[in-house]
Amino acid sequence: MPKLLAITQLTSFSEQEMQETQLVTVPLLTSVVHLAQLAATAGFAGTISSAFESRAIHEATPTNFLSITPGIRLAGDAVGDQNRVVTPARAREMGANGIVVGRSITQAPDPVAAYQRVVAEFQGE
């Protein structure tokens, strides 16, 4: 059965950018947790947010609520336009249930090897 996920705050936003562009006066973590709670109440299966907020999301939402995290980079890869970036292994350690990976695979010299490395790191191998 498909799962519906809600986006909280973009990983390309810093706290300052969020506050300035969205006129949000609370800290980024507070905003993300609030949005996750709204999503849980509305019946979403989880949220898409930075790994930095995964643990707090799990603490503030029902047990089966998912935390899916973009902003994933392999160690040594360019951060690009992202502000809140972690490795696949770090995302797992921080409580992510799943990850969204783009450039670390698509811009790698060997995308298949990069994909295999991402999977191995996220699975703790």
Residue 78 pLDDT: 82
Up-side HSE of residue 45: CA atoms within 13 Å toward CB? 8
DSSP state of 69: E
* For range 7-28, the mean pLDDT: 89
Strand order of the β-sheet with 66-69 is: 5-7, 46-48, 66-69, 98-99
CB 103 within 8 A of CB 109: no
Percent of the chain with pLDDT over 90: 78
pLDDT digits (tens, 9 = 90+) for 51-102: 999 999 999 999 999 999 999 999 988 888 877 889 999 999 999 999 999 9
SS (H, E, C) 5-61: EEECCCCCCCHHHHHHHHCCCCCHHHHHHHHHHHHHHHCCCEEECCHHHHHHHHHHC
CATH code where residue 17 lies: 3.20.20.70
Length of the chain: 125
d(CA 64, CA 66): 6
Structural domain for 25, as ranges: 5-122
> pTM here?
0.88
Q: Which amino acid is at 26?
A: V
Domain count, the chain: 1
Helix (H, G, I), strand (E, B) or coil at 117: helix
